Amino acid sequence: MKFPRDAPKRKVIKALESLGFKIVRVGNHISMVRENPDGTKTPLTMPNHDKVRGSTLRVICRQAGIKREEFLDAYRKA
């Protein structure tokens, strides 16, 4: 399954929040962090645009260590 082409920002944020990420800062970019069970933190940064491109989502997920299916499942439920 492919990433959505132009995903609404609000839906992407909801999907990421359901995966354990919390918004820590909003400016030109949205910074999110997930606290992991082992005490480490996983940072994530995405552009603060109304729509997020599929290629951008792919990079965000790769950098944050989120599997494609895991994100798409959360995105469908958001």
Token digits for 73? 């499942």
Examine the pLDDT at 1 and tell me if it is beyond 90: no
Helix (H) or strand (E) holding 17: helix 9-18
Strand bridging mode 41-47 / 6-8: unpaired
pTM here is: 0.94
Q: Per-residue pLDDT tens for 13-47?
A: 999 999 999 999 999 999 999 999 999 999 999 99
- Using CA atoms, how far apart are residues 14 and 25, in angstroms rounded to an integer? 16
- Using CA atoms, how far apart are residues 76 and 48, in angstroms rounded to an integer? 21
* Per-residue model confidence (pLDDT) at position 42: 96
* Per-residue model confidence (pLDDT) at position 66: 96
CATH topology for the 6-77 domain: Metal Transport, Frataxin; Chain A (3.30.920)
* Per-residue model confidence (pLDDT) at position 5: 93
Token digits for 27? 């400016």
Identify the DSSP state of 28.
S
Mean pLDDT of 38-65: 96
